[in-house]
Structure 1
Amino acid sequence: MISFAPLSVPLERRLQTLAAFVWLFSFLGFGILCIVIFIGLFFTRFWFLGILYSTWWYLDRDTPRKGGRQIQTLKRCRMWKYMANYFPVSLVKTAELDPTQNYIAGFHPHGVLGTGAFTNFCTEGTRFSSVFPGIRSHLMMLTLWFRIPFFRDYIMSGGLVTSEKECVSYLLSNKKGGNLLVVIVGGSQEALDARPGSYTLLLRNRKGFVKLALLHGAALVPIFSFGENELFDQINNPQGSWLRWIQEKLQKIMGISIPLFHGRGIFQYSFGLLPYRQQITTVVGKPIKVEQNINPSQEEVDRLHQHYMTELCNLFEAHKIKYNVPPDQHLEFR
């Protein structure tokens, strides 16, 4: 039986739903639309616009790996406040970040679409710049997405940058400091485990971000986003199932995973692709000081990685009761 939304829903909530829909479309359909528009330009009388953009695209090709191009006006757009209030999303600080230092933050869990990561670190929907004054946030994203015309400019405006080592070096080598590079450590593969009640993180063998922190002497910041996995239901795909096998094969080929998820609709609550209205609380932990080592041994990387995992567990345990996680629930690593 379909559960329809009442007609008396306040305008504020309607605008929140609209903002959530625009965000969802921007990542599920906008890229495809940009490709269609770009190719279509060459078959119209506006073909010269395609030539002009192609020239711009070539000249601007290195920008995504050199810090991107944030546009504060777009990050502060009112729509992102509606988006944050839809769930709602909140950003919690447990320690100050020194604006003269650079940081690598590990964000957990990925969730289906990385909603908390985008809302907190690519928009001003949760007032990031006020919570962490003097800090510029950058969220890493697969390089694949920056190869889509027009779409690349859209995602760069919010602070998204490529996941290439060159980009990491560029941002963390800034002697003035103030850069917070956010890495969703579990990546798209972890999205296949994103379902309500799941606290399994793909972290045990993910040590690249730790080594980068050592190479640049950047402090490590653990981040846990409570509620991230509660936004969508996902078709059951346990390890060893035929569906999981297909999803993992496609992920290896394309670099992106394809979780089969569903949520609610725009005017009804029974089915659709909109996320559920579930609270997301993103807790930013205390920085772990890292001494620069341009040639770290595997033992040093392993030691720091274990320290990071311990601090992440401590962060989770310290806040889980407050954010409705059962007392007997603990993080699981694979």
Structure 2
Amino acid sequence: MKTIIAAYSRVLKGTDSSFLSALQDLPSAPWPALRSKMEKHLRVISVLQWVFTFMSMGIACTVLLVYMFCTDLWVIAALYTAWLIFDWNTPKQGGRRSSWVRNWMVWTYFRDYFPIRLIKTHDLLPSRNYIFGYHPHGIFSFGAFCNFGTEATGFSKKFPGIKPSLATLAGNFRMPVFRDYLMFGGICPVNRNSIDYLLSQNGTGNAVVIVVGGAAESLNCAPGINSVTLKNRKGFVRLAIQKGSDLVPVYSFGENNVYKQIIFEEGTWWRLVQKRLQKILGFAPCVFHGCGLFSSNTWGMVPYNKPITTIVGEPITVPKVEQPTQDMVDLYHAMYIRSLGNLFDKYKTRFGLKESDILHIQ
């Protein structure tokens, strides 16, 4: 309003011939800057929402449910528990995907914070099923979640007819409410029953996304490290052969750069504690930090806004053999490693790495 009044005053004084030209000559209105600042805050909030949801929503909802049994709301808790028992096997049977949740605006802000990009290199046939091997794990696998658990980067438009299902710890689906939140994003348990269902009883056009390195790999994630845990991970290859599903290597440049982690050397007491807790809990207790909420110069839980670019590589055609030999598994595992290495080498210089950088397979 002040801008309009000022422009009108200039016209009355004769300094401008028209109202429009007076508006153009005045300094820019403040709302573009305010809008930009607001979007920046929304991006930070959207990322923090996911971090704290992933870390605490399941535990918080479990505690709340137990507490409700001790209050006058016990009837609601009992009804939900009955529903939970009835619905227990749904995560193993394709889940309960919601296009509405996958297209929430919050995921767009989440994507733009880093930002995260998805690059397609080859077409995928809807008449086939696929196992995507995602690398590296990072701390929270932001790239995997954004690209395959939401539509923020346009997966369905880039790969028409293909339905991604990101596989994560089966324990997450034992927690009330949190399990439903994950299923709405098309996320499934990383266990044999769930993956079997998607690749053999759910038609074609399914892509199960497995973060192959898992918790063990997260212990070695830090900026500047190009290492994946893959040398002895052959279960996903055997499964692909048994189901006749093509293998697709996926590499995310920048996934390791969004948090700084203290990496303890093998054989140290802290490393032994991490590995023991990993076996008990199913995930690795990493010692990491990002930046503060109000300053990038302080430590906090906010990840650094470093770009993450996810490259979906060329599919490796796999035959269907119900009882594959170990030699066959080793053959396709070697093909997969070679394909992943070629993918890394082809794109590394485009995303900030040097020609001399190599991908370490552990």
Shorter-chain TM-score: which interval? over 0.9
Q: 1:285 maps to what in 2? A: 313
Match of 1:119 among 123, 140, 146: 146
1:315 paired with 2:324, answer no
Alignment coverage as a number of residue pairs = 329
Match of 1:275 among 280, 299, 303: 303
Match of 2:358 among 326, 330, 334: 330
Q: 1:196 maps to what in 2? A: 223
Residues 220 and 263 in structure 2, CA contact (< 8 A), matched pair in contact too: no
SS at match of 1:263: strand
Select between 90-99 and 26-35 the one with higher mean Cα deviation: 26-35
Select between 152-161 and 312-321 the one with higher mean Cα deviation: 152-161
- Residues 199-240 of structure 1 deviation map (CA, whole Å, 9 limit, x = unaligned): 111100000000000000000000000000001001131222
SS at match of 1:328: coil
Residues 265 and 62 from structure 1, CA distance in 2 versus in 1: closer, same or farther, beyond 3 angstroms? same
In 2, Cα distance between the equivalents of 1:8 and 1:105?
38
In 2, Cα distance between the equivalents of 1:170 and 1:33?
30
Opposite residue 222 of structure 1, the aligned amino acid is P
Match of 1:257 among 284, 295, 298: 284
User: Greater helix percent: which structure?
Assistant: 2
Opposite residue 144 of structure 1, the aligned amino acid is G
1:301 paired with 2:329, answer yes
Q: 2:100 maps to what in 1? A: 73
Q: 1:151 maps to what in 2? A: 178
Residues 219 and 263 in structure 2, CA contact (< 8 A), matched pair in contact too: no
- Residues 116-147 of structure 1 deviation map (CA, whole Å, 9 limit, x = unaligned): 10010001111111111111110111111111
Q: 1:4 maps to what in 2? A: none
In 1, Cα distance between the equivalents of 2:163 and 2:263?
38
Q: 1:266 maps to what in 2? A: 293
Opposite residue 347 of structure 2, the aligned amino acid is H
Opposite residue 228 of structure 2, the aligned amino acid is L
SS at match of 1:105: strand
For the pair shown, the structure with the greater C-alpha radius of gyration is 2
Across the aligned residues of Structure 1 and Structure 2, the Cα RMSD in angstroms comes to 1.4
Q: 1:130 maps to what in 2? A: 157
Select between 169-178 and 151-160 the one with higher mean Cα deviation: 169-178
Gaps of 5+ in 1: 1-6
Displacement of 1:8 after TM fit? Answer: 10
Match of 2:74 among 47, 50, 61: 47
SS at match of 2:305: coil
Q: 1:225 maps to what in 2? A: 252
Match of 1:140 among 161, 167, 191: 167
Displacement of 1:242 after TM fit? Answer: 2.0
- Residues 171-196 of structure 1 deviation map (CA, whole Å, 9 limit, x = unaligned): 11146311000000000111000100
Q: 2:262 maps to what in 1? A: 235
In 2, Cα distance between the equivalents of 1:37 and 1:70?
25
The percent identity for this pair of structures is 42
Q: 1:3 maps to what in 2? A: none
Match of 1:103 among 130, 139, 142: 130
Opposite residue 327 of structure 1, the aligned amino acid is E
In 1, Cα distance between the equivalents of 2:67 and 2:102?
29
In 1, Cα distance between the equivalents of 2:113 and 2:202?
38
Opposite residue 58 of structure 1, the aligned amino acid is I
In 1, Cα distance between the equivalents of 2:195 and 2:56?
28
In 1, Cα distance between the equivalents of 2:36 and 2:104?
23
1:35 paired with 2:62, answer yes
In 1, Cα distance between the equivalents of 2:65 and 2:202?
39
- Residues 68-95 of structure 1 deviation map (CA, whole Å, 9 limit, x = unaligned): 1111111100000000000000000000
Opposite residue 307 of structure 1, the aligned amino acid is M
In 1, Cα distance between the equivalents of 2:43 and 2:169?
28
SS at match of 2:239: helix
Q: 1:64 maps to what in 2? A: 91
Q: What TM-score, normalized by structure 1, do the two folds share?
A: 0.96
In 1, Cα distance between the equivalents of 2:359 and 2:73?
54
Opposite residue 326 of structure 1, the aligned amino acid is K
Moved over 3 A (4+): none
Displacement of 1:9 after TM fit? Answer: 6.5
Displacement of 1:28 after TM fit? Answer: 1.2
SS at match of 2:165: strand
Gaps of 5+ in 2: 1-33
Residues 210 and 218 from structure 1, CA distance in 2 versus in 1: closer, same or farther, beyond 3 angstroms? same
Displacement of 1:45 after TM fit? Answer: 1.6
